[in-house]
């Protein structure tokens, strides 16, 4: 998963998911130190590729400078990505995912998080829950005061919009 916007207009944005295809080292370096580049295939990438008809992009390390306001100064060289085997529901907001397995936990901490988790997948056929949960949980969500307030506000805004037309 990319951790920063590299080339947004081509599909390389913060949160973009890809598959590592190769790790490139300098000649003679053989797994010592930081690699020269990591070749990553991004399904949504629409720019030039180093491999014809595949969306493979070299991701190179960047030098990060520590902000002196945090009490320390320094530099560190790292790749702007991390393993993305799992993401939180909050991190998934705005993403569109091909396959999703959700562990929604024991309770709804904030109204709407279960909806956000379920709505991130392209097709309901590719949505799975790690554990089943009682239907009563959904009924409690539907009856919650928070959801009732949200529903009232949506209806109020819809009424305002109708009056403007």
Output the pLDDT for position 100: 86
**Residue in 102, 97, 90 with CA at minimum distance from that of residue 120:** 97
What lies within 8 Å, CB to CB, of 47 at 6+ separation is: 7, 10, 11, 12, 57
β-strand partners of 56: 41
58 neighbors 24 (Cβ within 8 angstroms): yes
Asked if the model's pLDDT at residue 60 lies above 90, the reply is yes
CA distances (Å), 49 to each of 10, 16, 56, 78, in order?
A: 11, 16, 5, 22
Residue 142: pLDDT band with limits 50, 70, 90: confident
Residue 41: pLDDT band with limits 50, 70, 90: very high
Output the pLDDT for position 157: 92
Asked if the model's pLDDT at residue 93 lies above 90, the reply is no
Other Cβ atoms less than 10 A from the Cβ of 48: the count is: 8
Q: How far apart are CA 61 and CA 37, in angstroms?
A: 7
Output the pLDDT for position 20: 93
pTM score of the predicted model: 0.61
User: Mean pLDDT highest for which of 31-45, 92-106, 140-154?
Assistant: 31-45
129 neighbors 117 (Cβ within 8 angstroms): no
CA distances (Å), 75 to each of 42, 59, 65, 158, in order?
A: 29, 19, 4, 52
Asked if the model's pLDDT at residue 59 lies above 90, the reply is yes
Output the pLDDT for position 43: 81
Output the pLDDT for position 21: 92
E-state strands within 16-157: 18-24, 37-42, 56-59, 62-66, 74-78, 100-102, 127-129
Average pLDDT for the chain: 83
Q: How far apart are CA 151 and CA 157, in angstroms?
A: 10
Asked if the model's pLDDT at residue 133 lies above 80, the reply is no
Output the pLDDT for position 141: 73
């Amino acid at each position: 998963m990319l951790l920063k916007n590299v080339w947004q207009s081509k599909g390389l944005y913060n949160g973009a998911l890809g598959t590592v295809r190769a790790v490139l080292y300098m000649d003679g370096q053989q797994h010592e130190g930081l690699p020269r580049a990591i070749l990553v295939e991004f399904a949504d990438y629409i720019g030039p590729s180093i491999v014809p008809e595949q969306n493979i992009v070299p991701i190179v390390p960047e030098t990060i400078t520590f902000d002196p306001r945090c009490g320390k100064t320094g530099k560190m060289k790292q790749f702007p990505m991390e393993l993305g085997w799992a993401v939180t529901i909050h991190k998934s907001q705005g993403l569109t995912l091909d396959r999703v397995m959700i562990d929604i936990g024991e309770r709804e901490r904030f109204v709407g998080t279960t909806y956000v988790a379920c709505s991130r997948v392209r097709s309901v056929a590719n949505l799975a829950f790690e554990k089943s949960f009682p239907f009563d949980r959904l009924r409690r969500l539907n009856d919650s005061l928070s959801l009732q307030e949200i529903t009232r506000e949506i209806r109020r805004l819809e009424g305002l919009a109708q009056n403007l037309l």
